[in-house]
Amino acid sequence: MSALTAVLAVDVGKTGCRAALWTHTSATTPPEIREASGAPGLAGPDGVTLTEKAVLTAGRTVLDQAGVPAPTAVCVGAAGAATAPQAADELARRLRSSLAADEVAVTSDAITSHAGALGGSAGIVLAAGTGTVAVGFGHDGSFARADGWGPWLGDEGSGSWIGRAGLRAALRAHDGRGPESLLAQAARQQYGPLEQLPAALDQGGNTARATAAFAPAVAKAAAAGDSVADAILREAATAWCETVIAVARRLGDTSPLPVTVTGGLAHLEGALPTEFDTLLLTSGRELPRVQPLGGSLEGARLLASRRDAPHEAFVTRVGLSSV
Tens-place pLDDT, residues 125-145 = 998 988 888 999 988 878 999
Q: Which of 42, 144, 146 is nearest to 94 (CA)?
A: 42
pLDDT of residue 322: 52
Taking residues 269-297, report their average pLDDT: 90
Whether 117 has a pLDDT exceeding 90, the answer reads yes
Taking residues 20-36, report their average pLDDT: 74
Whether 41 has a pLDDT exceeding 90, the answer reads no
Angle at 268 between CA 265 and CA 269, to 5 degrees: 155
Residues of the chain above pLDDT 90, percent: 52
pLDDT of residue 1: 38
Q: Are strands 16-22 and 103-108 parallel, antiparallel or unpaired?
A: unpaired
pLDDT of residue 27: 59
pLDDT of residue 2: 42
Helix H or strand E encompassing 136: strand 132-137
Angle at 145 between CA 143 and CA 147, to 5 degrees: 180
Whether 34 has a pLDDT exceeding 80, the answer reads yes
62-66, 162-166, 207-211: which range is least confident on average? Answer: 207-211
pLDDT digit string (tens) for 232-242?
999 999 999 99
Taking residues 210-227, report their average pLDDT: 91
pLDDT of residue 87: 93
Which residues of the chain does CATH 3.30.420.40 include? 121-292
Taking residues 283-307, report their average pLDDT: 90
pLDDT of residue 323: 43
Which residues of the chain does CATH 3.30.420.480 include? 7-115+295-322
Other beta carbons within 10 Å of 172: 17
- CATH of the structural domain 7-115+295-322, one choice from 3.40.50.300, 3.30.1330.90, 3.90.930.12, 3.30.420.480: 3.30.420.480
Distances (CA, A) of 207 to 45, 50, 155, 204: 15, 16, 14, 8
Whether 321 has a pLDDT exceeding 70, the answer reads no
pLDDT of residue 59: 92
pLDDT digit string (tens) for 60-82?
999 998 888 999 999 999 988 88
Mean pLDDT of the chain: 88
pLDDT of residue 140: 81
- CATH of the structural domain 121-292, one choice from 3.30.420.40, 3.30.750.200, 3.40.1390.10, 1.10.15.40: 3.30.420.40
